[in-house]
Amino acid sequence: MRFIIHISPSALTLLYVHELPLSGALAYPAAMAWILFGLGFLFFVTLGRAAGWPRGTIGGLILVGGLANTSFLGLPMIETFYGEEHLGLGILIDQLGTYMVLSTLGILIAVTYAAGDASPAAIARKILTFPPFQAVLLALALKPFAYPEGLELVLGKLGATLAPLALVSVGYQLRLAELRGRLAALSAGLAFKLVMGPALIMALFAGALGAGGTTIQVTIFEAAMAPQIGASIVALEHKLAPRS
């Protein structure tokens, strides 16, 4: 499991963030995941407290309900529905949005809801030592420099392990019998992730802010992806809502 969290996403980040062209026009796509996660936090904390759910359940829902699978699910979907030329936009949403959120706010939520009253120093240390976060900083620092020959191939091979290993890891731990008594929380998580969250993003970007065009369409499309596998792995690693 540690390989999936530490190595695979770090390789993808070093590979793709290094090549991303950064401009102000990409503010909406980059901001989407941060806004979606914030909305999810407010929704699940409010609902969880009203329903009397355990802290671990609330923390797990914030993670998996507030982050979309914008990589190995989102990227093929973008290519299918919008064309290969928009894959760069999907990579930006994933790397500077979803995975950056997971590497910072996601770790903050995981540590806080798993350990209760974690100290600010402990939380900061956990974020700063989280390999995907370090990979983002390193990739941005190395943008002025070309990678050595062969490095992109190695990073691509390592990054390609994320989808199959994550799916096997999460699927292997799935026990349908353990859904008993948790269907309300599961339904709320899926309802927010697949319906409410994307609808709020569309209302904000296309409605309140009046943004339009294919870039906004792809951004809303990515917001509607299923829960992120990486967030599920982080939730499992921090024992959020563990088996009884």
Where residue 68 falls among pLDDT bands split at 50, 70, 90?
A: very high
Give the tens place of pLDDT for each residue, 3-16: 766 787 778 778 87
Q: Which residue has the higher pLDDT, 4 or 102?
A: 102
Where residue 202 falls among pLDDT bands split at 50, 70, 90?
A: very high
Query: What's the chain's average pLDDT?
Result: 83
Where residue 140 falls among pLDDT bands split at 50, 70, 90?
A: confident
Whether residue 107 has pLDDT greater than 80:
yes
pTM: 0.78
Whether residue 244 has pLDDT greater than 50:
no
Residue 1 is predicted with a pLDDT of 59
Where residue 175 falls among pLDDT bands split at 50, 70, 90?
A: low
Distance from C-alpha of 144 to C-alpha of 146, rounded to nearest angstrom: 7
Whether residue 95 has pLDDT greater than 80:
no
Distance from C-alpha of 214 to C-alpha of 209, rounded to nearest angstrom: 15
Residue 163 is predicted with a pLDDT of 66
Q: Residue 19 phi/psi, 5° resolution?
A: -100, -5
Give the tens place of pLDDT for each residue, 26-48: 789 989 999 999 999 999 999 99
Mean pLDDT, to the nearest integer, of 77-85? Answer: 82
Distance from C-alpha of 231 to C-alpha of 99, rounded to nearest angstrom: 9
Three-state secondary structure call for residue 68: strand
Where residue 59 falls among pLDDT bands split at 50, 70, 90?
A: very high
Residue 15 is predicted with a pLDDT of 81
Distance from C-alpha of 144 to C-alpha of 141, rounded to nearest angstrom: 7
228 near 98, Cβ under 8 Å? yes
Helices (H), 103-175: 107-115, 120-128, 131-141, 151-159, 162-172
